[in-house]
Structure 1
Amino acid sequence: MKILVAGAGSVGRSISRELISHGHEVTLVDRSPDAMRISSVPDADWQLADACDVDALAEAGAGTADVVVAATGDDKSNLVISLLSKTEYGVPRTVARVNNPKNEWLFDDAWGVDVSVSTPRIMTALVEEAVSVGSLVSVFTFHQSGALMHELTLPDDSPVIGELVSEVELPPHTVLAAILREYRPITPDADERFERGDELLFLTAREGESTLGEIPVIFTADDEPAPDPTRADPAPQLG
């Protein structure tokens, strides 16, 4: 893919190196001469220009770019770059860096942002994921579709341990996307059983957000429903 990265600071350079190592063609754009550290990413095409300018974006190749990454340290600039890329050049996909979490609500399709990346938000989610067992942790929001990704680590006393994935009913508009077990991703097939310490990744549509709270409640042993005497082997239910 042809990718234009606006902002040649440490974040932009790091992103560019990774993309180039994966075989992508990268153009790095920054308006500051001090940011022109060409030797740090020698395989990129460097442009000294203001990516907030329509003509500068054109000269940098926005018209033929598959992806534009707005990675500057200024949220206003990242929004302008994303909007111009979408509206003026029809870039298929834009990714924008959010520096201040208070501005995160602005980074949506109204400003031409397909995906927003908030480093503080990601770090918070990773910290919560590392220390939270039995609690639902927000990991990521797909702004284009509105879908949500959440993680839940099964505690040792979870009533679903040993149960088949197919026997656990999830809330509406929610699917179990993957199980992480011993650092390996596992497809949650119907004949797969839950094990202690499993990390569960859920995807939920926007309209299912209000029912997310049902997941950690039901996945906690204290809330395990009383056995149904009419059933020999009752299965735990979610929702």
Structure 2
Amino acid sequence: MRIVVVGAGSVGRSITRELLSNEHSLLVIDKYAREERVKAIPDATWLLADACEVATLEEAQLEHADVVVCATGDDKVNLVVSLLAKTEFGVPRTVARVNNPRNEWMFDEGWGVDVAVSTPRLMTALVEEAVSVGDLVRLFEFQQGKATMVELTLPLDSPYCGSSVADLALPPECVLVGIIRDQLPMAPVPEESLQALDELLFLATRDAERTLAAKLTGRRRDEVQTVLSDRNF
């Protein structure tokens, strides 16, 4: 794929190196990239210019990009470039970094963002995932499909401890996609027996989340709703 990364800070450079290792074609746009940064990633093509200028994006031939990754430390820049990439150049997929969680509401299709990645939100979710047993933790939300990835650590008193995956009566619009046990990932095969403290990963809609958590924990649905709202997701 041809991928354009906007922003050559630590995040942008890390993304670029990772994508290069997967044999993608990379163009990095950064107005202030120092010479040592450019030399550190010689396999990427560099354009030292302002990505918010349409002329820069034309020079970058953005219309031929498969993905644009907006990874700067400035939310305004990430939004403007995402919008231009979508509306002016028809880029199929845009990924934008969210620096300030208060700005998350803007990072949607209206601003040309297909996938918004909020580092503070992800870190918060991972911390809560590590310490919460029996609580539903939303790890990720997919912008277009309105689906979420959620995790629930099966409590000791769950009615499903000892049951098989096949016995799970999951609500509609909810799919078990993985089990983490003893820090190792496992496929959720039908005959696998669930154990207390298993970390269960689901794809679900927001409406299905509370029903799912209530079923697995034995709580009332309204109790689960309070837990979720208290987390400010």
How much has 1:33 moved relative to structure 2?
4.7
Contact in 2 for aligned 1:156/1:196 (Cα 8 Å) = yes
Give the TM-score taking structure 2 as reference length.
0.88
Residue-by-residue CA offset, 1:172-214 (whole Å, 9 max, x unaligned): 3212121122333322232222122211111113xxx134223
Q: 1:219 aligns to what? A: 216
1:92 is aligned to: 92
Cα distance between partner residues in 2 of 1:202 and 1:184: 16
Mapped partners of 2:138, 2:208: distance in 1: 14
What TM-score do you get using the length of structure 1 for normalisation?
0.86
- For residues 145 and 219 of structure 2, the distance between their equivalents in structure 1, rounded to whole angstroms, comes to 35
Distance in 2 separating the partners of 1:210 and 1:221: 18
Match for 2:57: what amino acid? L
Higher alpha-carbon deviation: 152-161 or 99-108: 152-161
Which segment is superposed worse, 210-219 or 17-26? 210-219
Letter of the aligned partner of 2:217 in structure 1? Answer: T
2:80 matches 1:80:
yes
Q: Tell me if 1:188 matches 2:188.
A: yes
* RMSD between superposed Cα atoms in Å: 1.7
Instruction: Please tell me whether Structure 1 or Structure 2 has the larger radius of gyration of its CA atoms.
Output: 1
Q: What SS class does the counterpart of residue 172 from structure 1 fall into?
A: coil
In the alignment, the residues of structure 1 paired with residue 54 and residue 36 of structure 2 have an alpha-carbon distance, to the nearest angstrom, of: 21
Q: Deviations 1:25-48 (Å, cap 9, x if unpaired)?
A: 111101125477212222111111
* Structure 1 gaps, min length 5: 224-239
Question: Is 1:107 aligned with 2:107?
Answer: yes
Kept in 2, the 8 Å contact 1:13–1:40? The answer is no
Spell out the pairing of 1:41-190 with structure 2 (5 A cutoff): 41-190=41-190
- The answer to whether the Cα contact below 8 Å between 2:87 and 2:112 also exists between their aligned partners in 1 is yes
Q: Contact 2:8–2:33 at 8 Å: present in 1 too? A: no
Amino acid at match of 2:181: R
Q: Tell me the CA shift for residue 171 of structure 1.
A: 2.3
Quote the residue 1:31 is aligned against: 31
**Which residue type is aligned with residue 105 of structure 1?**
W
Amino acid at match of 2:151: E
Which letter maps to 1:216? Answer: A
Give the Å deviation of 1:220.
Answer: 2.6
SS in 2 for 1:103: helix
Deviation at 1:93, TM superposition (A): 0.8
| SS of match in other structure, 2:88 | helix
Runs of 4+ aligned residues of structure 1 deviating over 3 Å after TM superposition are 33-36
| One-letter identity of the residue aligned with 1:27 | L
Distance 1:35 1:115 in 2: 31
The alpha-carbon distance between structure 1 residues 40 and 214, as it changes in their structure 2 partners (threshold 3 A), is: same
For 1:198 and 1:185, the matched residues in 2 are separated by 10
